[in-house]
Amino acid sequence: MDRLHLMTVFVAVAEEQGFAAAARRLGFSAPAVTRAVAALEESLGVKLLNRTTRFVRATEAGLRYLEDARRIIQQVQLADEAATGINSEPRGHLAITAPVMFGRLFVMPGIVDYLQRYPDTQVDAVFLDRVVNLLEEGLDVGIRIGELADSSMRALSVGSVRHIVCASPDYILRCGLPQTPQDLLQHTLISSSAAHSLTDWRFANQSLRIKPRLTVTSNDAAIEAAREGLGITRLLSYQVAASLAAGELKILLENFEPAPLPVSIVHREGRFASSKVRSFIDLMAAKLRADKALN
């Protein structure tokens, strides 16, 4: 069998962690996928996958081969694009990740626009409130909030967001305005575990240990409780932009806010990114830079 074909099948099995799922992704039969992986392992003389009745995982040698195989497949795709022209229509599968609420509010409209513009593309959107390793999890593009620790990624700055403290006008009327972060300890506080700051709220020159009266697992729930007048919450500015614009929430302690956090688009490809990746990044960057909630 063609070695590039075998590599493509192996990458699909490793990423999907199953032969049946890989077969569906590639449009092959499950026996054809099994034969391809067996042929590759036989030609290499190395076991690439551990198989059980419940899952399939790459071996240590398989993980090294997976990284090389992805790079080789990508280089072949880039060579094909160069031969057909730099302006060739984007096509193929694109995997994207972003924080949950940011993905819903800002990334999904971009994904819908992208899919409508380019009918030969497919997108997997993975929205998680944790830092995702693009290489290890087989993702093409990520939107990150905060300083970037991984220098191996290509990054494009598209805006910034702030950590803000806010409450409803009704709560402020009933309970008064805190003048310093320390004053928050005398107020009803709402904390979200999705914000990664359950009991420690950071300000410009101090970190405040709080005792929330209400703790929730989603930012949406914290916003709703604050809108209802229960108390004060602390979230990122983009998360409450609509509520601020509607007058449902007011910003408190603005002079004590820490430095804004950058918003970046990151990807694994070099300057000659594939057409599908380049087109999505260009579209997404234009949308995010034009959004007043991020700039």
CATH of the domain at 34: 1.10.10.10
Residues 100, 227, single domain; the answer is no
Q: Is residue 177 part of a domain?
A: yes
From CA 149, how far away is CA 143, in angstroms rounded?
14
SS3 219: helix
Residue closest to 281 by CA, chosen among 149, 156, 122: 156
Amino acid type, 126:
V
Where in the chain does DSSP place strands (E)? 49-51, 56-58, 92-98, 121-127, 141-145, 154-161, 163-167, 189-192, 200-202, 207-209, 214-216, 232-236, 250-252, 261-267
Residues 114, 129, single domain; the answer is yes
Residue 35 vs residues 1, 110, 152: alpha-carbon distances, Å = 10, 39, 35
Is the separation of the CB atoms in 229 and 251 below 8 Å? no
Residue 281: phi and psi, rounded to 5, are: -60, -45
Question: In which domain, by residue range, is 219 found?
Answer: 163-256
From CA 125, how far away is CA 141, in angstroms rounded?
10
Supply the pLDDT for residue 151. 59
From CA 241, how far away is CA 259, in angstroms rounded?
18
pTM: 0.69
Supply the pLDDT for residue 158. 96
pLDDT tens, residue order, the chain (295 aa): 588 899 999 999 998 888 988 899 899 998 999 999 999 999 999 999 998 777 889 999 989 999 999 988 878 876 776 666 555 788 889 999 999 999 999 999 999 999 999 999 999 999 998 888 887 788 899 999 998 876 567 889 999 999 999 999 999 999 999 999 999 999 999 999 887 667 889 999 899 999 999 999 999 999 999 999 999 999 999 999 999 999 999 999 999 999 999 999 998 765 556 788 989 999 999 999 999 999 8
From CA 196, how far away is CA 284, in angstroms rounded?
26
233 exposure class (CB count in 10 Å sphere: 0-12, 13-18, 19+) = buried
Is the separation of the CB atoms in 266 and 142 below 8 Å? yes
Residues 65, 22, single domain; the answer is yes
β-pairing, 154-161 with 189-192?
Answer: unpaired
| CATH at 105 | 3.40.190.10
Domain limit, last residue, from 50, 84, 118:
84
Domain count, the chain: 3
202 exposure class (CB count in 10 Å sphere: 0-12, 13-18, 19+) = middle
Is the separation of the CB atoms in 181 and 208 below 8 Å? yes
What count of other Cβ atoms lies within 10 Å of the Cβ of residue 277?
20
Residues 224, 280, single domain; the answer is no
From CA 56, how far away is CA 30, in angstroms rounded?
14
Q: Is residue 295 part of a domain?
A: no
Q: Is residue 182 part of a domain?
A: yes
Residues 107, 218, single domain; the answer is no
Residues 275, 210, single domain; the answer is no
Residues 54, 188, single domain; the answer is no
